[in-house]
Structure 1
């Protein structure tokens, strides 16, 4: 199934909606029109593409879940043909959040687990970075496919707190960690960073500044 998804991506279907008939797809894949139509239906049913049907054409785009699947295959192939990368660089623009990060990092259950798994006591708050380029957003998607350092869901005070995947990182020369949080109000264009120091103060940052994070892929 991933190869059909890959063919749609090659036509630009990751960046924009593309006009694509079952016959066109069949010709590109060297299969029958009926098989091509069935594969599109399967991709849609699996939630890997969005498809809009009109009387004259159909319009298709690879969605977020589809992108994640392609990246999973891509990283698997890289492990076969290349040496596994040790680092990944992501740049983003500093912006003020809603205080959500400060609240969650201060929770005893998270704080204790961060100390155990990351080796430092985090400052109670996160540095929020909004990703501006397609390359940086793709890099963030790639992080989802790597194992990282996982803090599993737990209960505290009658509440359930969600799973967090962490990656050790260097933020402009300062030790820290990138967090991929399951339960967050932010979209795929944002990463949150914690550190043992108040990063805004330590790095003299203000909203709008661009920060580069060197993410360590091997724990």
Structure 2
């Protein structure tokens, strides 16, 4: 689990501008004038220019300004932001959304063991995921296509892991997505992808945690191809959808009995 770092994401208005850039060919490269973009956004030329500047500062586009406009290309980070928007709309109109990411097993830098076992994280894993993770992360080097699709994870329900602090420093928040890890004919279902809210790691690496050492459970080595199937999940310490009020409060016939 990587250490969190602070950054600022573009606001919804800038994301709307990013969408329009993509629609006119910006995923490869396209020529854009601020006047034309302003017309599409129902905004002034100056406002359109500021939104492009915001997107460039965030690393979502690259620009080459010329005399009669500018050449604009949406970066990988910008495409990931658009895919996250797409995933949100899928949640509105589709049920049981599953995202399939592919990649190869790779070694980590040893940070996972340290962060996973820190008490502020470990207690949340036990209560919210329902298990104590193996002390370390299983790392997947994502394929180029999966790196582009990774942004869709933002539209899938995940278990939040809150930020916390000790006497020395503050540790960042993260999200845990329910995943099934597939390798050939073998699969492991009780695992999670852990994604820090802010990280200095590139998007081409995905970290998984599970109650067991995944390499040993599935007999995997560096370079082995795997598939990570991401689906919506919820906290283990909260009642599931459709639970009755008695189940939520613990009242009813079994209230006051000791758990087995």
- Residues 135-214 of structure 1 aligned to structure 2 (within 5 Å): 136-172=146-182, 173-174=187-188, 175-182=190-197, 184-214=199-229
Match of 1:22 in 2: 33
Partner Cα separation in structure 1 for residue 143 and residue 81 of structure 2: 22
Q: Which residue, out of 74, 78, 82, partners 2:86? A: 74
Unaligned runs of 5+ residues in structure 1 are: none
Partner Cα separation in structure 2 for residue 118 and residue 132 of structure 1: 27
TM-score, normalised to structure 1's length? 0.82
Partner Cα separation in structure 2 for residue 130 and residue 120 of structure 1: 25
1:86–1:218 Cα contact (<8 Å) kept: no
Match of 1:127 in 2: 138
1:22–1:37 Cα contact (<8 Å) kept: no
Secondary structure at 2:229 match in 1: strand
| Structure 1 stretch displaced more, 143-152 or 113-122 | 143-152
Listed one character per residue, the Cα deviations across residues 153-179 of structure 1 (whole Å, up to 9, x for unaligned) are: 101342211111001222122121101
State the shift of 1:41 in Å.
Answer: 3.0
Kindly indicate whether residue 15 of structure 2 is the aligned counterpart of residue 5 of structure 1.
no
Unaligned runs of 5+ residues in structure 2 are: 1-12, 235-260
Partner Cα separation in structure 1 for residue 197 and residue 87 of structure 2: 22
State the shift of 1:58 in Å.
Answer: 1.7
Radius of gyration: which is bigger? Answer: 2
Change (3 A) 1:43 1:114: same
Partner Cα separation in structure 2 for residue 76 and residue 168 of structure 1: 17
1:13–1:60 Cα contact (<8 Å) kept: yes
Listed one character per residue, the Cα deviations across residues 136-192 of structure 1 (whole Å, up to 9, x for unaligned) are: 123321112434111111013422111110012221221211010235442111110
TM-score, normalised to structure 2's length? 0.70
Partner Cα separation in structure 1 for residue 195 and residue 40 of structure 2: 40
2:91–2:155 Cα contact (<8 Å) kept: no
2:215–2:221 Cα contact (<8 Å) kept: yes
Secondary structure at 1:20 match in 2: strand
Q: CA RMSD in A?
A: 2.8
Match of 2:238 in 1: none
Q: Which residue, out of 19, 40, 63, partners 1:51? A: 63
State the shift of 1:114 in Å.
Answer: 0.6
